[in-house]
Amino acid sequence: MTPVLELLQYDFMRRALVAGLLVGLAAPVVGIFLLQRRLALIGDGMGHVALAGVAAGVLTGAAPVWTALAAAVAGAIAIELIRARGRTSGDVALAVLFYGGIAGGVVLISLSPQGTPANLNAYLFGAITTTSGSDLVTFAVLAVAVLVVTAVLAPRLFAVANDPEYARAVGLPVLGLNLTLAVLTAVTVVVSMRVVGLLLISALMILPNAIAQRLCHSFRASLAVAMVVGVLVSVTGIGTSFYAGTPSGGTIVVLAVAVFVAVSVLSAALERTARRRHQVAEGHHEHEHAEGCGHPAVAHGDHVDYVHEGHRHAVHGGHYDEH
Amino acid sequence: MPVTAAAGPPVVRLSGVSIGYGDRAVVRDVDLTVADGEVVAVMGANGSGKTTLVRGLLGLATVLAGDVEVLGRPLRTRQDRARVGYVPQRHTVGGAVASTVREVVASGRLARVGWLGRLGARDREVVQRAIEAVDLSPMAGSDIAELSGGQQRRVLIARALAAEPEVLVMDEPTAGVDLASQQALARTVGRLTERGVTMLIVTHEVGPLIDVVTRAIVLRDGSIAYDGPLATSPVGQDAGEHHLHEAGDCADPHADVDPDAGRAAARGAWLGSPVEDR
């Protein structure tokens, strides 16, 4: 039997892989807007707060997924409102919320009868055996909700993340959209709590996007690449975790970091080669070539060169190349 | 030559308006009427309230007293706001994720599309025309991070144009911009005036826009100190003196430090152009 088929004969592995697929799709979609707003670490904070929710669930016997969801969503709204109100005091308030969440979580879990260190590790760093059938149904509903809401709001979330002041001037509900993104982030944190873990989920929101940034020049392409990377590292990480006996969240994130390093090294090398072949037209090219600018236009493959004092100039990004 | 307020129905009307942040008024008791098709340069020293005035107009700063009407009514709904284009004072565009010129300009079209926020064929055509209007079509697919500061500023103008605004408010569109972009900006503004777009341009140096500005307002300490043709404005009559005054303001530790002030003084020569010719 091939290793892949072997994985699929276990119920818990099938559930873990489906959960991984859902997380791999949803986390980068939410993460790209967080990254664009330079809030790469906010998902970490929500993971901390969600831990307090998990602990409350463990202590009271309620389903930890639902108590984590309640805590993360409440935390997300609090974080966004604090951010919207001020700057200096907001920073401290966020720190209090984050540390309060994780400390409260650890203390509460230790008070509960089942509160063993192994149990806590599974919540913090992910485990493949912990996704139950009912968890999976909840995760599927939540992940689809995250994907649909983000897809519908994507143009607006982009506008707000790109320039909140402009978004406000054209009448977009900036606070409402930011709150929605915060809640989407909280929901994604909860969807990821079984296979990735509350301390590592932020990595799956950010790293696939960071990888895509090395490869893409548009928002749309970045998002598509990040989703593909998210699914690949998440599913591969879960499979590896089965054979290596390592925590799934840690394995997924180590894999993502490895891909990031490989892509960074590779793209830097490619860029060096391209730069050697790429000759920029004299430093400050203040004239802008355009139709009828006075310089003869010559078709050159998929673009137009302009003949400029015996050289051929082609537009490239913000400058002109010698062709 | 200068268009007076009576020339057409007012596009902007401020009566007894005070604008500020929190409960602190920066602009006090201002009356201003701008007619259809006017191109108004809003000038004045740093801290005189230029930016606050236009932010109040756009609903970004608090109107503490008086009435603000744009195109005949207060800006309340998204439809009202779509008729007003805004180019914020910024040196760069965008967040930490790559986005193309076209993607950023398309975000300006949102004001005109339905709740799903999807652009139709005509919307995409308007976006393309907005990019052409600022002479950036060869770079439409480039990541904005690869563009020069001046080119990025033009992306912001194209974004505002993508909503097909009837009024365009620009905050310091030429500050710190390279010569090519200043010239491109002047061409764009010229084309827009031909289409009858009313403009308010907050600026330190009318410089490249001298041929298209039809009226100047000079603010001093939150009030309008001059309102009339550029040629006879205190800024127009003696730029040197004005810029000295401005430099004096900058020495005040409470005033904003303005890196452009020295350069603007050195460049006071824009007055050298024959103003009467316009």
- What CATH number did the domain enclosing A84 receive? 1.10.3470.10
Same domain, A155 and A249: yes
Q: Does residue B121 sit at the A interface (CB-CB below 8 Å)?
A: no
Number of domains in chain A: 2
- Whether residue A209 sits in one domain with residue A96: yes
| Cα–Cα nearest to A174, from A187, A156, A151, A186 | A156
* Of the candidates B86, B93, B84, B85, the residue with the CA atom closest to the CA atom of residue B153: B93
Q: How many other CB atoms sit within 10 Å of the CB of residue A248?
A: 30
Query: What residues does CATH 3.40.50.300 cover in chain B?
Result: 5-83+166-273
Q: Are residues A217 and A287 in the same domain?
A: no
Question: Do A292 and A209 share a structural domain?
Answer: no
Q: Are B165 and B84 within 8 A, CB to CB?
A: yes
Contacts of A170 in chain B (CB under 8 A): 78, 81-82, 86, 108, 110-111, 163
B115-132 average pLDDT score: 89
Residue of B nearest to A287 (CA): B180
Q: How far is A319 from chain B (nearest CA, A)?
A: 8
Q: Is B128 on the interface with A (CB under 8 A)?
A: no
Of residues A92 and B106, the one with the higher pLDDT is: B106
How far away is chain B from the Cα of A68, in angstroms, using its nearest Cα? Answer: 30
In a domain, A316, yes or no: yes
pLDDT of residue B273: 31
Q: What pLDDT does A292 receive?
A: 61
A55 in a structural domain: yes
What number of C-beta contacts closer than 8 Å exist between A and B? 125
Look at residue B16 and give its three-state secondary structure. strand
Are A29 and A174 part of one and the same domain?
yes
Show the domain range for A232. Answer: 3-270
- Please judge whether A156 and B110 are an interchain contact, meaning their C-beta atoms are less than 8 angstroms apart: yes
The B residues from 56 to 115 touching A (CB cutoff 8 Å) are 58-60, 77-78, 80-82, 84, 86, 88, 90, 93-100, 103-104, 106-108, 110-111
Cα B188 from Cα B154, distance rounded (Å): 9
List of residues 6+ apart from B29 with CB closer than 8 A: B16, B17, B18, B65, B66, B223
- Which H/E stretch holds residue B26? strand B24-35
Question: What pLDDT is stored for residue B74 in this prediction?
Answer: 83
Are A101 and A131 found together in one domain? yes
Question: Which CATH number describes the domain made up of B5-83+166-273?
Answer: 3.40.50.300
Nearest to B104 among A154, A162, A171 (CB): A162
pLDDT value for B210:
84
Number of other CB atoms surrounding residue B190 within 10 Å = 13
Q: Does residue B264 register a pLDDT over 60?
A: no
Over residues B47-67, the pLDDT tens digits come to 889 999 999 999 888 899 999
For position B24, what pLDDT does the model report?
A: 87
Facing B143 at nearest CB: one of A169, A217, A304: A217
| Pick among A170, A177, A284 to test the B interface (most B CBs inside 10 A) | A170
Whether A211 and A66 map to the same domain: the answer is yes
Reported as a pLDDT band with limits 50, 70 and 90, residue B277 is: very low
Instruction: Kindly list the strands in the beta sheet with A303-308, ordered across the sheet, starting from the edge strand earlier in the chain.
Output: A297-300, A303-308, A311-316, A319-322
Residue A276 lies in a domain: no
Please indicate, yes or no, whether residues A179 and A299 belong to a single structural domain of this protein: no
Q: For residue A267, list chain B residues with Cβ-Cβ distance below 8 A.
A: none
Task: Check CB contact of B47 with chain A, cutoff 8 Å.
Answer: no
Cβ atoms A97, A46 nearer than 8 A: no
Query: What ipTM was predicted for this assembly?
Result: 0.80
Distances, alpha carbon A2 to alpha carbons A231, A240, B59, B62, B231, in Å = 21, 14, 64, 67, 84
B96, closest residue in chain A (CA to CA)? A36
DSSP-derived letter for residue B108 is G
> Could you tell me if A139 and A287 lie in one domain?
no
- In this prediction, residues B248-271 reach a mean pLDDT of 35
pLDDT digits (tens, 9 = 90+) for B186-232: 888 888 888 888 999 998 878 778 888 899 999 999 999 989 888 77
In the chain, the amino acid numbered B254 is H
Same domain, A310 and A197: no
Considering only residues B92 and B245, tell me which one the structure prediction assigns the higher pLDDT. B92
Q: Is the dihedral of CA B167, B175, B43, B61 positive or negative?
A: positive
As averages over each run of 10 residues, the pLDDT of chain A (323 residues) reads 77 91 95 91 89 88 88 91 73 84 88 66 84 88 95 93 89 92 94 90 94 93 96 95 91 96 92 75 60 69 70 70 71
Alpha-carbon span B109 to A298, nearest angstrom: 33
pLDDT band at B254 (very low <50, low <70, confident <90, very high): very low
- The mean pLDDT of chain B is 79
CB contact under 8 A, A169 and B108: no
Q: Does A312 lie in the same domain as A193?
A: no
Averaged pLDDT score across all residues of chain A: 86
Q: How far apart are CA A80 and CA A62, in angstroms?
A: 27
Flag if A165 and B148 touch (Cβ within 8 Å). no
pLDDT at position A301: 65
State which residue of chain B sits closest to A35, comparing Cα positions. Answer: B96
- B97, A209: Cβ pair inside 8 Å? yes
Q: How far apart are CA B89 and CA B51, in angstroms?
A: 9
Q: Structure pTM?
A: 0.81
- Asked if residue A275 belongs to a domain, the reply is no
**Of A72, A67, A36, A58, nearest in space to A198 by CA:** A72
